[in-house]
Amino acid sequence: MDATAIPVLARHASERSQTASVEITAGWHFRGGSDEGTFGYSATFAVAAHRRRPGEPAGKPTAYPQMCVGPVLDTPTVRTGRNAVLALEELGGLGLPVGTCAADRAYTGCSPENFQIPVRRLGYRLALDYKVNDRGQQGSWQGALLVDGSLACPHMPAALVQATRGLDDKAVREIHDNQQLTEHITAREPHYLKTKQGPDARGAIRLQCPAAGPSPSVNCARRDRLRPRTPRTPGPPSATVDFSDSRKRAAHPSARPTVQLPQDEWLTPPPADELPRVSSKSDITVPADASGDLKTAKFRQDSHYLSDDWIAAYKPIRSHNEGIHGRLKGEEIDIGNPKHRPAPGQAAQTLLVAILVTAGNLDILETWLCQRSGTQLTDTVFDNTDPQPPAPRETEPPTQTGRPPPPTTGR
């Protein structure tokens, strides 16, 4: 989901000259990071983008064309999140599959009830970005820390929790050039809560402690005390490790990080009812609306921020969004030229933008078919030669019936 400016021919209202604008529903659209606005409308585009797998090279042919499948034109900054939900609801009515919904920081800043909550209830996975002041620890849920949109162990090391605190946008774009940040992002992975059950019809998920389950990712003395683990084989784990087997190396307890508990807990272990719910229960439920917790409902996402999985999902989708804006605003279609849409009024502008986007989609579809012509169009033969006119047929003269016409005179 993304929004782009649609300028209009009409001038904006001016207090100096005491004049109003004929485009009474238009407003100022500000591009992210810019102080210069564009007077007109905002077009919200739902783009059928392609998600790459981690490590998959860029430029690989896509399985479907990257088209704009849902435009909504509206006054800028008024219904940013609701317009995105409207477009996704229309796509759901067509029976199209749901997947990952990536959106920039303009949508992350929306009220959760206007964007994040309804999008989760539609079945989409969210991939979000954050402003500088919103990175790092963002809150908590039933004792679990909310770290860059993911719920984590209450005792995740502070250096890992605050690894992205105050991180600027340039560092996020160039994360692979920052070795220390990359190591911290990788070290976060074992401390995140694990998904026990995916989202239900209402968008709620069930998560469990990273030390729980048959395949724990951390060692935790608190978890072992409260909910003792039944070993698959009796006795302590084998001290002998087969280093040639990567799975056995990763599964051995010595390969997992150990949760550092407070010193007082080692001397006087507290009862289960005094500990966070995430530690004392087998799992916790996180509703789509997070039961009124604003930050959890607003910032939570399904891919761990800045991880390889997040990069493979967020960056290609955002790249497709920017690419289709550039193509629709290029010289061939140029929906950004108000002279191509001279009719005033939001209804007229909506229809004209829809026609221009349709023309752009047809061009994108034709290009995609040409790129795949080796597998899709090999059986089609086009003949551009002028057809020959049909030969005249020999017909017999018609048989006259009835009285002949009168003879003509000299006059």
| pLDDT per position as a tens digit, 83-135 | 999 999 999 999 888 999 999 999 999 999 999 999 999 999 999 999 999 99
Using DSSP, state whether 327 is helix, strand or coil: helix
- Model confidence pLDDT, tens digit, residues 218-264: 999 999 999 887 665 556 656 676 777 777 777 778 889 999 999 99
- Check whether residue 252 and residue 141 sit in a common domain: yes
- Check whether residue 141 and residue 280 sit in a common domain: yes
Does residue 409 lie within any of the structural domains? no
- Check whether residue 311 and residue 206 sit in a common domain: no
Does residue 237 lie within any of the structural domains? no
Which residue carries 């002949």 as its tokens? 404
Per-residue confidence band for 292, with pLDDT thresholds at 50, 70 and 90: confident
State how far the alpha carbon of 279 is from the alpha carbons of 92, 99, 227, 234, 270, in Å: 38, 31, 9, 25, 12
% of the chain beyond a pLDDT of 90: 61
Does residue 258 lie within any of the structural domains? yes
Does residue 381 lie within any of the structural domains? no
Q: Which of these, 309, 303, 288, 259, lies nearest to 141 by C-alpha position?
A: 288
- Check whether residue 284 and residue 172 sit in a common domain: yes
Strands in 48-148 per DSSP E: 68-74, 100-102, 125-127, 137-141, 144-147
- Check whether residue 25 and residue 106 sit in a common domain: yes
Does residue 346 lie within any of the structural domains? yes
Is the CB of residue 5 less than 8 Å from the CB of residue 27?
A: no
- Check whether residue 110 and residue 52 sit in a common domain: yes
∠ CA 144-145-149, rounded to 5°: 115
What is the pLDDT at residue 55? 64
Higher pLDDT, residue 271 or 400: 271
Quick one: average pLDDT of 160-167?
94
- How many structural domains does the chain have? 2
Does residue 53 lie within any of the structural domains? yes
What is the pLDDT at residue 75? 96
- Check whether residue 119 and residue 33 sit in a common domain: yes
Domain region containing 26: 1-128+301-374
- Check whether residue 138 and residue 271 sit in a common domain: yes
Alpha helices in 109-244 (DSSP H): 116-121, 158-161, 169-173, 179-188, 221-226
- Check whether residue 163 and residue 286 sit in a common domain: yes
pTM of the predicted structure, to 2 decimals: 0.83
- Check whether residue 72 and residue 176 sit in a common domain: no
Does residue 110 lie within any of the structural domains? yes
- Check whether residue 9 and residue 69 sit in a common domain: yes
- Check whether residue 22 and residue 44 sit in a common domain: yes
Does residue 383 lie within any of the structural domains? no
Quote the tokens at residue 30: 């500000």
